[in-house]
Structure 1
Amino acid sequence: MFSRFEPKQDAAIFIAFILLPKFDMLSLTAALGPLKAANDQSGRNIFRWQLMSWDGGPVICSEGWSITVDSSVESDATAYITLVCAGEQPERNMPPTLPDHIRKLWRRGQSVGGLGSGTFVLARSGILAGHRFTLHWAHQPSFKAQWPNLEPSAEIYCIDRRIFTCAGGVASADMTLQLVHDRCGLKVSHGAMHACVITSRRSEAVEQMATIASRVQSRNKSLVKAVAWIEERFLDEDCLKGVAVAAGTSPRQLQRLFQAHLSKTPVQYMTELRIGHARALLAETNMSVQDVALICGYERPSTFAKVFRRRFGVPPSRYSHFGIDASTHKAISALQAC
Structure 2
Amino acid sequence: MRKENRIEIVFLLFDGFPMACLTSVIEPLRAANEIAGQEAFCWSLVSEHGQKVRSSAGVRFEAERPLAECRNADILFLLSSPTSGFDKPNVGNGALRNLGRHGTVLGGISGGVFPLVRSGLMNGHPVSVHWCYEAAFLAEFPEIDARSEVIVKAATRYTAAGAAAGFDLALHLIEERLGGDIAHEVACWFQHPMMRGAGVRQQVPAATMPDTGDSLPPLVARCVELFGGHMSEPISIADVALQIGVTPRQVERAFKQATGQSPSHYYRAMRMKAARQMVVYTKDPIAEIAAAIGYGSVAPLVTHYRSAFGLSPSEDRRRINRFRVEDNAPLPSV
- Scaled by the length of structure 2, the TM-score of the pair is 0.87
Please state if 1:95 is matched with 2:48: no
Which of 126, 134, 151 is residue 128 of structure 2 equivalent to?
134
Please state if 1:31 is matched with 2:31: no
In terms of mean alpha carbon deviation, does 147-156 or 245-254 score higher?
A: 245-254
Residue in 2 that maps onto 1:205: 199
Contact 1:92 1:284 in 2 (8 A): no
Which of 155, 158, 165 is residue 161 of structure 1 equivalent to?
155
Question: For residues 316-327 of structure 1, what are the structure 2 equivalents within 5 Å?
Answer: 316-320=313-317, 324-326=321-323
Shift, 1:256, TM fit:
2.7
Shift, 1:48, TM fit:
1.0
Which of 286, 292, 296 is residue 295 of structure 1 equivalent to?
292
| Structure 1 residues 68 and 211, CA gap change in structure 2 (3 angstroms) | closer
Contact 2:13 2:46 in 1 (8 A): yes
The one-letter amino acid of 2:83's match is E
Shift, 1:307, TM fit:
1.6
Query: Secondary structure, in 3 states, of the residue corresponding to 2:126?
Result: coil
Shift, 1:93, TM fit:
4.5
| Structure 1 residues 154 and 53, CA gap change in structure 2 (3 angstroms) | same
Residue in 1 that maps onto 2:274: 277
Query: Secondary structure, in 3 states, of the residue corresponding to 1:242?
Result: helix
Query: Secondary structure, in 3 states, of the residue corresponding to 1:52?
Result: strand
Please state if 1:47 is matched with 2:45: no
Which of 43, 51, 57 is residue 63 of structure 1 equivalent to?
57
Contact 1:92 1:321 in 2 (8 A): no
Residue in 2 that maps onto 1:7: 2
In terms of mean alpha carbon deviation, does 235-244 or 206-215 score higher?
A: 206-215
Query: Secondary structure, in 3 states, of the residue corresponding to 1:180?
Result: helix
Contact 2:209 2:259 in 1 (8 A): no
Contact 1:223 1:247 in 2 (8 A): no
- For residues 210 and 274 of structure 1, what CA distance do their matches in structure 2 show? 15
Q: Which runs of 5+ in 1 are unaligned?
A: 1-5
Question: For residues 160-239 of structure 1, what are the structure 2 equivalents within 5 Å?
Answer: 160-209=154-203, 214=208, 217=214, 220-239=217-236
| Structure 1 residues 224 and 135, CA gap change in structure 2 (3 angstroms) | closer
Q: Which runs of 5+ in 2 are unaligned?
A: none
Shift, 1:257, TM fit:
2.3
- For residues 309 and 219 of structure 1, what CA distance do their matches in structure 2 show? 27
| Structure 1 residues 315 and 197, CA gap change in structure 2 (3 angstroms) | same
Shift, 1:214, TM fit:
4.5
Shift, 1:292, TM fit:
0.7
Q: Deviations over 1:135-167 (max 9, x none)?
A: 212222222222222112221112211111111
The one-letter amino acid of 2:28's match is P
Residue in 1 that maps onto 2:261: 264
Contact 2:220 2:254 in 1 (8 A): yes
The one-letter amino acid of 1:290's match is A
- For residues 205 and 312 of structure 2, what CA distance do their matches in structure 1 show? 33
Contact 2:14 2:84 in 1 (8 A): no
Contact 1:31 1:176 in 2 (8 A): yes
What percentage of residue pairs aligned between the two structures are identical?
A: 26
Q: Deviations over 1:68-112 (max 9, x none)?
A: 33332234222111110113xx23444342333212211222111
| Structure 1 residues 288 and 30, CA gap change in structure 2 (3 angstroms) | same
The one-letter amino acid of 2:254's match is L
- For residues 218 and 39 of structure 1, what CA distance do their matches in structure 2 show? 38
Residue in 2 that maps onto 1:3: none
- For residues 230 and 221 of structure 1, what CA distance do their matches in structure 2 show? 14
- For residues 224 and 116 of structure 1, what CA distance do their matches in structure 2 show? 25
Please state if 1:118 is matched with 2:112: yes
Shift, 1:231, TM fit:
2.3
Residue in 2 that maps onto 1:243: 240
Shift, 1:201, TM fit:
1.5
Query: Secondary structure, in 3 states, of the residue corresponding to 2:128?
Result: coil
- For residues 209 and 69 of structure 1, what CA distance do their matches in structure 2 show? 33
| Structure 1 residues 48 and 138, CA gap change in structure 2 (3 angstroms) | same
Please state if 1:306 is matched with 2:298: no
Query: Secondary structure, in 3 states, of the residue corresponding to 1:77?
Result: coil
Count of aligned pairs between the two proteins = 325
The one-letter amino acid of 1:123's match is V
Q: Deviations over 1:262-313 (max 9, x none)?
A: 1211111111111111111222223100111122122221221122122222
| Structure 1 residues 293 and 219, CA gap change in structure 2 (3 angstroms) | closer
In terms of mean alpha carbon deviation, does 255-264 or 313-322 score higher?
A: 313-322
Contact 2:127 2:144 in 1 (8 A): no
Query: Secondary structure, in 3 states, of the residue corresponding to 1:142?
Result: helix
- Scaled by the length of structure 1, the TM-score of the pair is 0.86
Which of 21, 26, 35 is residue 15 of structure 2 equivalent to?
21
